[in-house]
Chains A and B, each alone.
Chain A
């Protein structure tokens, strides 16, 4: 007789909301009438993500292990779930924008039609839109929220796949430059599968070493036999799988290509939400499962953080495409986030300031990068978005407001004071210094200085260069994009000037349940 596990539905409410809405989306896709389906799908996706946001906010202070020990609903899980749901809602709004592209959507009308075929050209100019992207996004968001709460390596793997598969798909759905988009999707899929294999193999090794996939059991086993080679090898492979998702160098190679090829709203979604989810899982794995063998992985993370910061900052210097530049920025930021991970001193039970700082960083970076990609969708020419750097010359004269908003996001990404980026960087660096990792912080500051060059270059180009002849036009965003920009600008400024309240919330949430 199998005993049914104890399940707290209240604690699972955010997940149920998001995944339920995604299922409703599938039904709408199957049975709903074609006309007006877009509107319904947007509404369902928004209800799902916002519902997830509200219910996870209501769970604040919750601290339990449920579903037979498979899920941990604790401070970090709830904080990151709320972050993912909120950023997911903003991404859905970006997907729903219909007034920028003359073809009324950023997504291809029929993904199965071969690119460049007569039918494809015909559909290109039609106003038909496809709506599968909304339920897919819902599943991705649900998978991410599960990912950060997984207290079991198997659940973590399932969540990884639930969030990844929809992402592979929607990366290939760009309406323009379809071949580039499809190439990106295939690359992402192949490498993602490769990374998943690493993760799965690591899982198997850890199971072999400890006889369990529960994080708590692994922790107990690691405390006794921390030097077991099988266990250590398993940890290595798990880390590789997770670092891939977080686009940490040297597992970053897919990031620039996919960021560039995917439809820009999808890139925004990936840059913001996937990063949060992946780091949530990294934190939980390292601190809950391997918190007792901290000194085994610390040197490794130390080195990876440096490699990621340096690679991101240095390679970003020579990029000429804004989406690729933001991709390298994302790689560098992954390195900065790892300094926060190293700031966690004292393991899972201690209220480490590094955990709160890292979570604050994830929130701030997610909002800023989402806003930056949202601005990219505005600047267009005949062939779609004008993402080449040279096309942005003198943009401030044509559209001062757009240039100012972009400048704000770039300053925040560079970590200039009075923006959220500064507060976040300050918080993680301080945590790292408290943990004694000051040489890492020195490298991080140097990398920030190098990275500041390519952010500021865009600002210089927008404000101090002569406008290009027949340059891109700046589209007037519809309501959805306007809301996204308003929220992200406000957050970037408020978290820079008065971050106290949010930092406090992140700080208080920063305790894992064992």
Chain B
């Protein structure tokens, strides 16, 4: 980690990045109906100004790591947490991604949510999300990160359940919240261990002294951080909430559940690179999680009929690629982050396109009732198509550069595991091409299979302009980040200067391999989907593989049978013990006391003679005891 330099110039006011959207959220939430008329404009304005500020700060940064000291956040005993911001090249790219894509999606939402009576509340939550996400990436210590982490979790919960009157949305929000808690506990424990062992939670303090810890402790911290990352980023084994989260409005899916929040886990692991550098075991776990998830996501994506669910599984899979990359260590960090950025562009674009399609199809998401939309929605088709090509790694578009870099890095590990991971990633690239092509074919090609009364139409410019901009990003981002202005050099102060690694497999070979897999995938999709008529209802008699893929490899079934049912049994058993055992004991005791009270009470006859007798008895006992003590 480079030396911290004091805040100067515009960077000193980088707290405004967080304060602006936060103020927006506060005004919109507290202002109530009075802000209904202009609330969405305020929401857009705060994020756009945050983007401009972030851009200017980034220009001034010049490869330094700037520490912006704000105030003391917690000071209890020996725990002293300063609220400070760390503006360094790594947080800068995240700031630009969050505010940049965030601003476009805010603009899009103005059109998408135009007819929703609660648009103001929507923008308030979106602003809240942006503020929390910026705190997450800008905090200079783990506690600030945790506050942001919980903040985005809250915003995500509120936004998934934005249409809380729909049971599916409410359930999905609850599911997301609960599964995120599992991860959050891991992150919290990791912070506790850091503080208990090192006495500090600031990045500078932790990374400066983490080398003093024993290997086991570091591994434990690494695994706990990974658990946190898995929860937030929808990685195996906590991936099941993310597809359900698509119940939220589509801009939310685009911003939170594709481009930004779900990549927080990648940020956490990249930020904690000095910890993972010391623990090969935890790093291997990251690799395993990434490889498993990218496969699960790609397989499940092949069998979904819900357009947003396909994209959601695609997100799960692509974040798996990023985990794979950061799990590779120094050779993969930059590749993973580059993929994170390009993915932010094309996946946000794809979601906005899907939203545009839904807008046209009366909020239907069933691809079996789409078809033939290419001619009706030209802008959407073209922008969506560019995003699609970027995602499947069409040569010289974004995904081509960044995904190839990850697969290259995997092969460059040089051992058998590296080759295995590389081949898995190549295979998944083929699957990606298959399910995305299937999505394109079912949505835009073929004969219309629309529900009666649906009249598709192109969306208004307020929605298409952000889609166009994101499509441009999808096309160019890879070239810009890898070739024109290498991200490697920009991030050198954080992850070390780029070294020309020795390639085990020549980059050209890898590119050819990935492209071949992609072509195979596209062809397979054409063979299985494009050539035939798409049935309006999903076929029932399908192979076991398809059935498994439709149910996302039984992730929910596993969760339910491993955790939910035993949990229910446990609570039922506890209730039983409480009712029969604890209550029984308490009630029995109370009855015993009450009974003895009544029996003893009979001695209280009201007759002086019996009272006097009891006194005499007492006196005899007293005298007897004293004599016994004296004599004995």
Contacts and interface: CB of A to CB of B under 8 A. Distances in A.
B608 A190 contact: yes
B593 A450 contact: yes
B603 to A, nearest CB: 8
Contacts of B617: 250
Closest 3 CB pairs of A and B: A250-B618, A253-B611, A236-B623
Contacts of A426: none
Given A186-B608, A300-B622, 10 more contacts: A187-B608, A227-B631, A229-B627, A240-B618, A240-B622, A253-B611, A299-B625, A314-B593, A315-B604, A317-B597
B593 A236 contact: no
B623 A194 contact: no
Contacts of A236: 619, 622-623, 626-627
A251 interface: yes
Contact of B615 (A226, A232, A239, A244): A244
B594 A250 contact: no
B612 to A, nearest CB: 6
**Interface bin, chain B:** 20 to 34
A187 B611 contact: yes
B604 A239 contact: no
6 contacts: A187-B611, A239-B622, A297-B629, A299-B629, A315-B601, A318-B597
A226 B631 CA distance: 11
A179 B294 CA distance: 92
Contact of B608 (A191, A198, A299): A191
B598 interface: yes
Contacts of B626: 232-233, 235-236, 296-297, 300
Interface in B567-618: 590, 593-594, 596-598, 600-601, 603-604, 606, 608, 610-612, 614-615, 617-618
A191 B593 contact: no
Interface of B: 590, 593-594, 596-598, 600-601, 603-604, 606, 608, 610-612, 614-615, 617-619, 621-623, 625-627, 629-631
Interface of A: 186-187, 190-191, 194-195, 198, 226-227, 229, 232-233, 235-237, 239-240, 244, 250-251, 253-254, 256-257, 295-297, 299-300, 303-304, 311, 314-318, 450, 453
B612 A232 contact: no
B619 A191 contact: no
Nearest to B614: A253
A229 B598 CA distance: 39
A203 B116 CA distance: 94
A115 B433 CA distance: 107
Contacts of A250: 614-615, 617-618, 621
A195 B615 contact: yes
Contact of B629 (A296, A314, A317): A296
A300 B628 CA distance: 10
Nearest to A311: B600
Nearest to B590: A453
A244 B590 CA distance: 30
A297 B606 CA distance: 31
Contacts of B590: 453
B619 A198 contact: yes
A386 B97 CA distance: 75
Contacts of A244: 615
A256 B614 CA distance: 15
Most buried by B among A257, A300, A450: A300
Contacts of A299: 625, 629
Contacts of B631: 227, 229
Contacts of A186: 608
The prevalent SS among residues of B at the interface is helix
Contacts of A187: 608, 611
A239 B618 CA distance: 11
A318 B622 contact: no
Nearest to A303: B625
B615 A318 contact: no
A297 B610 CA distance: 27
A195 B611 CA distance: 11
A257 B627 contact: no
A378 B610 CA distance: 34
A453 B594 CA distance: 11
A453 to B, nearest CB: 8
A232 B601 contact: no
Nearest to A295: B629
B623 A237 contact: yes
B622 to A, nearest CB: 5
A318 B608 CA distance: 22
A237 B604 CA distance: 23
Contacts of A314: 593, 596-597, 600
Contacts of B614: 250, 253
Contacts of B610: 253
Contact of A300 (B594, B596, B629): B629
A257 B605 CA distance: 10
Nearest to A316: B597
Contacts of A254: 611
B618 A251 contact: yes
B512 to A, nearest CB: 76
A256 B604 contact: yes
Nearest to A189: B608
A366 B512 CA distance: 94
A297 B618 CA distance: 15
B227 to A, nearest CB: 39
B615 A315 contact: no
B554 to A, nearest CB: 50
Contacts of A237: 619, 623
B611 A191 contact: yes
Given A311-B600, A317-B597, A253 B615 contact: yes
B469 to A, nearest CB: 62
B601 A296 contact: no
A64 B102 CA distance: 86
Contacts of A233: 623, 626-627
Nearest to B607: A187
A410 to B, nearest CB: 19
Given A191-B608, A253-B611, A300 B625 contact: yes
A314 B602 CA distance: 13
A279 B611 CA distance: 22
A297 B612 CA distance: 23
Contacts of B611: 187, 191, 253-254
Given A191-B608, A229-B627, A317 B593 contact: yes
A240 B619 contact: yes
A304 B612 CA distance: 18
Given A303-B625, A315-B597, A227 B615 contact: no
A296 B617 CA distance: 20
A189 to B, nearest CB: 10
A257 B601 CA distance: 12
A236 B615 CA distance: 13
A229 B604 contact: no
Contacts of B608: 186-187, 190-191
A232 B627 contact: yes
Nearest to B628: A299
Nearest to A244: B615
Nearest to B616: A194
Nearest to A254: B611
B588 to A, nearest CB: 14
A236 B630 CA distance: 12
A198 to B, nearest CB: 6
A240 B618 CA distance: 8
A453 B593 CA distance: 11
A402 to B, nearest CB: 28
Most buried by A among B606, B621, B629, B630: B630
Nearest to B618: A250
Contact of B601 (A229, A235, A318): A318
A190 B612 contact: yes
A433 B449 CA distance: 84
B604 A317 contact: no
Contacts of A300: 622, 625-626, 629
Contacts of B629: 295-297, 299-300
